[in-house]
């Protein structure tokens, strides 16, 4: 039976504005594309003749690779632009860039930019679709979708699961997008980290807050460990790295207090020996590398839905 929800948005800017049905539509689509990634020939002609521009104002090899691979496996053409986003790159310039890209008849723009809301701004100026690949500390929707997909694949559901997010929640677009997605799908979300790294009004998003790692770990079905962004921490939000490791670093010892089948997740790249230790990162509970695979599949699904505006099922009817 065909999936009745049809994708109608031209953009994927954030999880906050998506409905539960839209998230499920992307997840279902992701299953189809993940199957393609297991084949010897991983390429399908779905987006042949479409042009996708990757505009990265922040360095990110893996996210760019993941989107680029997703695009190429759908047979889209890609053009890529990477630059540092300096303080002089003002909104007006972003608009000009956008209008120029549009004038070149690009079908989809994937934007990473340090300014929260940048992809929303871009979207307003463009008829072409926009994918937010990270806008400052605001949202990173495809990361949340791949995280949710990864949990769903293992646990066969999201509703009713207990998910803990550990670390620097205050600066994390990954955490924000995850909270939105998980709550919409009915999970119980606990966030945990040093007080200075937890936003004061975070409970408004419907999450539990604890500063005690053992408590966050105890009943969790999945633990999503955030990267300590050493490069972003100009001010000291916690006494020292050593203190952080002691209180919040996920070691094998620590994991003994968790459920036997808890999923260990990390958006990468891992600071090994800081927020996550070797034996856990590479251990039996870790699904970190499957997250990377799922990242390509979920991005194929997103590119496909934005470029075609209908589900495969709909098309096949």
For binding to its own copies (CB under 8 A), which residues are involved? 37, 40-43, 48-51, 53, 61-62, 65-66, 68-69, 72-73, 77, 79, 81, 83, 92-93, 96, 99-106, 268-270, 272, 289-293, 295-296
Of 56 and 248, which has the nearer Cβ to its own copies?
A: 56
Residue-wise burial string across 247-263, b where 16 or more C-beta atoms lie within 10 A, e elsewhere: ebbbeeebbeebbeebb
Least separation, in Å, of the C-beta of 290 and its own copies?
A: 7
164 Cβ neighbours under 8 A, 6+ residues apart = 189, 190, 191, 192, 216, 217, 220, 222, 223, 224
Least separation, in Å, of the C-beta of 294 and its own copies?
A: 9
Least separation, in Å, of the C-beta of 241 and its own copies?
A: 16
Of 2 and 79, which has the nearer Cβ to its own copies?
A: 79
Distance separating alpha carbons of residues 150 and 129, to the nearest angstrom: 26
Query: Quick one: how far is CA 271 from the chain centroid?
Result: 18
Of 72 and 232, which has the nearer Cβ to its own copies?
A: 72
Least separation, in Å, of the C-beta of 77 and its own copies?
A: 4
SS3 assignment, position 69: helix
Of 153 and 290, which has the nearer Cβ to its own copies?
A: 290
> Which DSSP string corresponds to 195-216?
GGGS-TTGGGGT-EEES-HHHH
Distance separating alpha carbons of residues 226 and 222, to the nearest angstrom: 13
74 Cβ neighbours under 8 A, 6+ residues apart = 43, 44, 46, 47, 50, 300, 303, 304
Least separation, in Å, of the C-beta of 108 and its own copies?
A: 13
Least separation, in Å, of the C-beta of 101 and its own copies?
A: 8
Q: Which of 6, 4, 1, 2 is nearest to 310 (CA)?
A: 6
Angle (CA) 230 242 225, round 5°: 55
Of 73 and 140, which has the nearer Cβ to its own copies?
A: 73
The order of strands in the sheet holding 263-265 is 208-210, 188-192, 162-166, 222-225, 263-265
Of 114 and 210, which has the nearer Cβ to its own copies?
A: 114
Distance separating alpha carbons of residues 209 and 205, to the nearest angstrom: 11
83 Cβ neighbours under 8 A, 6+ residues apart = 56, 57
Of 7 and 237, which has the nearer Cβ to its own copies?
A: 7
Least separation, in Å, of the C-beta of 247 and its own copies?
A: 23
Least separation, in Å, of the C-beta of 172 and its own copies?
A: 20
Of 44 and 115, which has the nearer Cβ to its own copies?
A: 44
């Amino acid at each position: 039976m065909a999936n009745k929800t049809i994708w109608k948005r031209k953009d994927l800017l954030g999880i906050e504005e998506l409905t539960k049905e839209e998230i499920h539509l992307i997840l279902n689509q992701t299953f189809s594309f993940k199957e393609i990634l297991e084949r010897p020939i991983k390429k399908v002609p779905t987006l042949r003749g479409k042009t996708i521009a990757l505009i990265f104002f922040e360095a990110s090899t893996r996210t760019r690779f993941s989107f680029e691979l997703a695009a190429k496996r759908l047979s889209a053409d890609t053009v890529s632009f990477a630059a540092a986003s300096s303080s002089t790159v003002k909104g007006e310039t972003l608009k000009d860039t956008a209008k120029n890209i549009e004038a070149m008849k690009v079908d989809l723009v994937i934007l990473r930019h340090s300014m929260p809301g940048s992809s929303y701004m871009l979207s307003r100026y463009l008829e072409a679709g926009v994918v937010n690949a990270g806008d400052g500390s605001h949202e990173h929707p495809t990361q949340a979708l791949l995280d949710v997909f990864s949990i769903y694949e293992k646990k066969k559901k999201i509703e009713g699961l207990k998910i803990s997010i550990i670390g620097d929640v205050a600066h994390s677009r990954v955490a924000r997008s995850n909270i939105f997605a998980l709550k919409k799908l009915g999970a119980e979300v606990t966030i945990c980290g040093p007080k200075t790294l937890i936003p004061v009004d975070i409970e408004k998003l419907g999450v539990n807050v604890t500063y005690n790692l053992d408590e966050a770990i105890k009943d969790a079905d999945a633990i999503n460990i955030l990267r300590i962004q050493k490069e972003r921490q100009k001010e000291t939000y916690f006494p020292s790295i050593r203190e952080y490791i002691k209180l919040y670093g996920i070691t094998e010892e620590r994991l003994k207090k968790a459920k036997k089948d808890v999923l260990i997740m990390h958006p990468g790249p891992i600071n090994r020996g800081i927020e996550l230790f070797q034996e856990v990162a590479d251990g039996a509970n870790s699904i970190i590398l499957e997250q990377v695979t799922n990242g390509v599949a979920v991005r194929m699904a997103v590119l496909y839905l934005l470029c075609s505006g209908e589900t495969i099922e709909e098309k096949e009817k």
